[in-house]
Amino acid sequence: MALVIEGEEKIAAPIDVVWKALNDPAILKESIPGCESLEMSSPTEMAAKVVLKIGPIKATFAGEVTLKNLKPPRSYTIEGEGKGGIAGFAKGGADVTLTEDGPDATILKYAAKADVGGKIAQLGSRLITSTSKKLAGQFFSTFGEKVGGA
């Protein structure tokens, strides 16, 4: 089952600060809902462990995240895949772009595509889509607060 999530967040910080934060595993770990661990294995690769509850299913996903198409400090593509045992799998990516909005503000836009399978996919597209949008919204608002100091 495939889904697409798009959005944008205004962050009260200069573009260079936002770019650094997007590449900082400590800030990303604090921003990702349910993230138990996030470790860099190279400048463009991270290993993650995330616990998510989608409807009646709670699963721990272990996965790899790769950063591609890096154009500092403007954009990159993040791709990842996670396996949640019998709960299923999730894989996908997002194109993230940063645009200056004055000297002390940045507009972060994202367009994410995800594919889920296994028991999670059986929950129905409405529940998965609404949960995914909620999680993406939580990530970007938390990220914006941490980076912008709101």
Residue 98 belongs to domain with CATH number? 3.30.530.20
Tell me if 7 is assigned to some domain. Answer: yes
Using one digit for the tens of pLDDT, what is the confidence trace for 18-40? Answer: 999 999 999 999 999 999 999 99
Reported as a single tens digit per residue, the pLDDT across 82-106 is 999 989 998 988 999 999 999 999 9
The tokens for 57 are 């299913």
Q: Judge whether 101 lies within some domain.
A: yes
The verdict on residue 149 lying in a domain is no
Question: Among residues of the chain, what percentage have pLDDT more than 70?
Answer: 99
Per the CB < 8 A criterion, the answer to whether 11 and 147 are in contact is yes
Q: Is residue 78 part of a domain?
A: yes
Nearest 5°: phi and psi at 72?
-60, 140
Q: Is the pTM of this model over 0.75?
A: yes
Q: How confident is the model at residue 1 (pLDDT cuts 50, 70, 90)?
A: confident
Domain span at residue 124?
A: 1-143
The answer to whether position 136 is within a domain reads yes
Half-sphere exposure of residue 49, counting CA atoms within 13 Å on the CB side?
Answer: 4
Q: What confidence score (pLDDT) does residue 124 get?
A: 83
Tokens of 19: 């770019």
Q: Which residues contact 35 (CB under 8 A, 6 or more apart)?
A: 28, 29, 48, 49, 50
- Number of domains present in the structure of the chain: 1
Distance separating alpha carbons of residues 48 and 39, to the nearest angstrom: 7
